Amino acid sequence: ADEEPVPDVGARPAPAAAPSAVASPARRAAPAAAPTPADTRPFASTRAVQSALDLFESAASDDGEERLARLHAVRARALHGLAVLPVMTGDDPRRDTLVGLALAARDGSTAYVPLAHAAGPNVAATDAREWLAPMLADSLVPKVGWDLKRDRHVLGRAGLPIDGIAFDLHVASFVCDPERDHSLEGLARDVLGLALPAPGDAAAMKPARGRVRIETLSPAEAAVWAESAVGTMEPLAEALRAQLESREQWPLYERLEHPLIDVLGDMEEAGILLDRGVLGTMAARAATEITRLEAELYALAGGPLNLNSGPQLAKLLFETLKLKTGRRTKTGFSTDQAVLEELASEHAFPARLLEYRTLAKLKSTYFDALPLEVDPRDGRVHTTYEQTGAATGRLSSSRPNLQNIPMRSPQGREIRRAFVAPPDAMLVGGDYSQIELRVMAHLSGDPGLIEAFERGEDVHVSTARRVFGVEGDLDPGLRARAKIVNFGVMYGMGPRSLSQQMGIGLAEAQEFIRHYFQAFAKVREFLDRSIEEARERGYAVTLFGRRRYLPALASGSGGERAMAERIAVNTPIQGSAADLMKLAMVRVHAALKAQVPSARLLLQVHDELLLEAPRSDAELAAQVMRQEMERCFPLRVPLEVSVGLGRTWLDVH
């Protein structure tokens, strides 16, 4: 009775001072000139038309005149909406370049503008800009696309900045069903029942996939695929809009995910400054240490072996050294960290190997790889955020992944010294404290959990007190156990792995869980209800109405069903936390733009935001960030954010 199904994202329970940033799809800076309706503008200068005709006509196989007429028709009808499909050399928005641009108007007319085909004819860059830039930059011409954040980067670099982004098919499809096939071909097939060019042709023509590089195709060949693909976009947008509305997910798309596209685009464009010198020093030190460890390990092993090979290590540990075997994997005996730690007390080899593993990981993944990701033009690393990356609604980050930079070990976290603010600027970080547990407190309504957060207590300490009935001083070991069980509950952990994690017996773990649910009865109810409702509805749902379909709850095998039940428990928690963070990002971005325009968001790491601001504005930026994060969507428990300032990412914490 006390739950809140699918609240309106925009409904703000508490009056907040901040401007409502989510009121409408984000618009970037308005064009300098007053927008002119696209269908009243002259098509192009006579010279430009003539040069294009010359180009097109120079290729016998290429009916340039017809292509130009098609472009004219699309332009004339673009006012009501334009579908855009940049054809690129590959799928990397930062490194790949524009080969051509397919366009479609809402009446179904399509055109293809060849720009960089190996054997043209191509449209000259200056002509392309003259014809296309005004309508692409016109915020009043609504654009439909598939991954508009990527399109924004690619077109911007080609001198064709895009504004008025209205509907993103990839993001919209993700909101409808995060685990379905989001490819344009898949959507055309599954939503519209349309087949894009025959599988053979499509495989050959899809940008950079298959063996054929699209830039080596003739414009006429590329146009076959690109125009049929772009032609499906407006109908798809209509269909997906209707799907979102029927699922009551339109606010989730329109007020959260859509505005986030530009926020993420700005963050990617900003990048973060990397001090390569710091990493170089670390890499050199690690190399020396690794060489030393290798020699030691070879001596202990009685000869050289590949220390990065699991099978070779297993053979040595369990056959040659005859150490007692631990967990099995599909392919043999496991040599992972937990196993090696068990063995470390028996033999020096596994103990040393743990050190080697840590150092080798740091060197290959961070010290060596990160500097290669620096953009030489600005000395900064520009990650790519995947808005459709995780089925729970979380973002993911890649090329490079800046969401898994070491933090837990003192040695690893030193890497964060290499992420720096430019001269006269500061980094400002804001961390949600225990956001997932707060979300669980909110969703479950458990009075014990809520009270702990309302009083501002250390939630693991208060959990330990309730579970163990301790009044006075608390053994730190009990807090650590309570912490494990708090997280374990959110992940659907069973007594077996709990006993493993806590280093206690199975019976003791079962007893522990019994006490936990005695103390937090409404948490138990919440977990059961999550599974039950997901089974009835067919999907798990988050605070803002994000869905994750779980057919295995009803139909799976025992193992699959158990997995689906853990997902049904975890998704509302992890997903709602992701919803809140995304809303906070949109709010922080808008508030900074209005109040501290010198500051810019750089990174998001699930419960943390990092921004950069001139020294003089850093304190204000920190204040704005904290306020927008804490107030973005009030729950039954307060959201707490710890903020920090520093010259490097390490100093921020």
Partner DNA sequence: CGATCACGG
Partner DNA sequence: ACGCCGTGATCG
Q: Are 614 and 598 in contact, with CB atoms under 8 Å apart? A: yes
- Kindly state the smallest distance separating residue 563's Cβ from DNA, in Å: 5
DSSP string of 42-72, one letter each residue: ----HHHHHHHHHHHHTSTTS-HHHHHHHHH
Backbone angles phi, psi at 501, to 5 degrees: -65, -40
Stretch that binds DNA, among 220-228, 335-343, 473-481, 634-642 (CB under 7 A): 335-343
Round to whole Å and give the CA distance between 403 and 603: 8
Q: In terms of CB distance, is 251 or 430 closer to DNA?
A: 430
Q: In terms of CB distance, is 133 or 204 closer to DNA?
A: 204
Q: In terms of CB distance, is 56 or 356 closer to DNA?
A: 356
Q: Are 643 and 430 in contact, with CB atoms under 8 Å apart? A: yes
- Kindly state the smallest distance separating residue 320's Cβ from DNA, in Å: 15
Q: Rule CB under 7 A: is residue 290 a binding residue for DNA?
A: no
Q: In terms of CB distance, is 26 or 564 closer to DNA?
A: 564
Stretch that binds DNA, among 31-39, 46-54, 288-296, 490-498 (CB under 7 A): 490-498
Determine the 3-state secondary structure of 273 from DSSP. strand
Residue of 278, 251, 242, 228 whose CA lies nearest to 111 = 228
Round to whole Å and give the CA distance between 571 and 374: 35
Q: In terms of CB distance, is 45 or 308 closer to DNA?
A: 308
- Kindly state the smallest distance separating residue 218's Cβ from DNA, in Å: 28
Round to whole Å and give the CA distance between 623 and 204: 53
Q: Rule CB under 7 A: is residue 325 a binding residue for DNA?
A: no
Q: In terms of CB distance, is 338 or 594 closer to DNA?
A: 338
Which residue type sits at 374? V
Q: Rule CB under 7 A: is residue 95 a binding residue for DNA?
A: no
- Kindly state the smallest distance separating residue 608's Cβ from DNA, in Å: 6
- Kindly state the smallest distance separating residue 330's Cβ from DNA, in Å: 3
Please report the sign of the dihedral spanned by the C-alpha atoms of residue 65, residue 69, residue 71, residue 72. positive
Please pick, from the candidates 488, 545, 572, 646, the single residue that binds DNA as defined by CB under 7 A: 488
Cα-based distances in Å from 174 to 123, 389, 391, 583: 35, 9, 8, 17
Q: In terms of CB distance, is 250 or 517 closer to DNA?
A: 517
Residue of 44, 65, 63, 45 whose CA lies nearest to 53 = 65
Please pick, from the candidates 249, 335, 627, 648, the single residue that binds DNA as defined by CB under 7 A: 335
Q: In terms of CB distance, is 143 or 460 closer to DNA?
A: 460
Q: Rule CB under 7 A: is residue 321 a binding residue for DNA?
A: no
Q: Report how many residues bind DNA under the rule CB under 7 A.
A: 69
Q: Rule CB under 7 A: is residue 651 a binding residue for DNA?
A: no
Q: Rule CB under 7 A: is residue 20 a binding residue for DNA?
A: no
Determine the 3-state secondary structure of 311 from DSSP. helix
Backbone angles phi, psi at 276, to 5 degrees: -70, -25
Backbone angles phi, psi at 198, to 5 degrees: -40, 145
- Kindly state the smallest distance separating residue 351's Cβ from DNA, in Å: 13
Backbone angles phi, psi at 262, to 5 degrees: -70, -35
Q: In terms of CB distance, is 38 or 534 closer to DNA?
A: 534
Q: What are residue 380's DSSP bridge partners? A: 273, 375
H-only helix segments in 406-446: 410-413, 435-444
Q: By CB under 7 A, what part of segment 393-412 binds DNA?
A: 394, 396-401, 403-409, 412
C-alpha of 369 from chain center: 20
Please pick, from the candidates 106, 152, 606, 631, the single residue that binds DNA as defined by CB under 7 A: 606
Q: Rule CB under 7 A: is residue 501 a binding residue for DNA?
A: yes
Q: Are 152 and 29 in contact, with CB atoms under 8 Å apart? A: no
Please pick, from the candidates 20, 216, 246, 308, the single residue that binds DNA as defined by CB under 7 A: 308
Length of the chain: 653
Q: Rule CB under 7 A: is residue 30 a binding residue for DNA?
A: no
Stretch that binds DNA, among 6-14, 35-43, 76-84, 385-393 (CB under 7 A): 385-393
Which residues of the shown chain bind DNA in the complex (CB under 7 A)?
306, 308-312, 329-332, 334-337, 340, 354, 357-358, 361-362, 364-365, 369, 386, 389-392, 394, 396-401, 403-409, 412-413, 487-488, 490-494, 496-498, 500-501, 558-559, 562-563, 566-567, 570-571, 574, 605-608
